Every structure is written in structure tokens, then in C-alpha cells.
Amino acid sequence: LENWSPQSALGQLQAKLNASEAESEAQIEQFLARDLPLDSFLESFCQSRTRSHICRTQLEKLQELLQK
């Protein structure tokens, strides 16, 4: 564990959350532009939303723990 700190963990989780949110937005744009079939969109969108939810939950929990 190189230079691990709660702040670096928060930063990494926030970066993952931002990337997952951006991925979801890109999938929506592709679907609306008809560049992504419905089945593909639903599968990939659900996966990226799940990742976003997990990252957000971890981020909030870590922030909560650090405030104690």
C-alpha cells in the first residue's frame, strides 16, 4: 500500500464514480442517437448504474466514517 490515506481513497472512489456517471451519460447519448440497440443499451446501462451506485455508497460510507 503506497501512500495510502483516507483522502486518497476518497479521491479514487470519487474518480470511479465520475467515470461511471460519464459512461452512463455516453450510453444514453448513444442510445438516443440510435447508435446502440435497446438490448445492448439496457445491459450496459444497468451495469454502469450499478457501478455508480456501489461507488456512491462506498464514498458516502467512507465520508461518514471519517467524520466520526
- Each residue of 32-48: pLDDT tens digit? 999 999 999 999 999 99
Residue spans of the domains in the chain: they are 2-67
* Neighbour tally for 7: CB within 10 Å: 9
Counting runs of H as helices and runs of E as strands, what totals does the chain give? Answer: 2, 0
pTM: predicted TM-score of the whole model, two decimal places: 0.82
Give me the chain's average pLDDT, please. Answer: 93
The three cell numbers of residue 54 are 456501489
Q: Which burial class, exposed, middle or buried, applies to 13 when counting CB atoms under 10 A from its CB (0-12, 13-18, 19+)?
A: buried
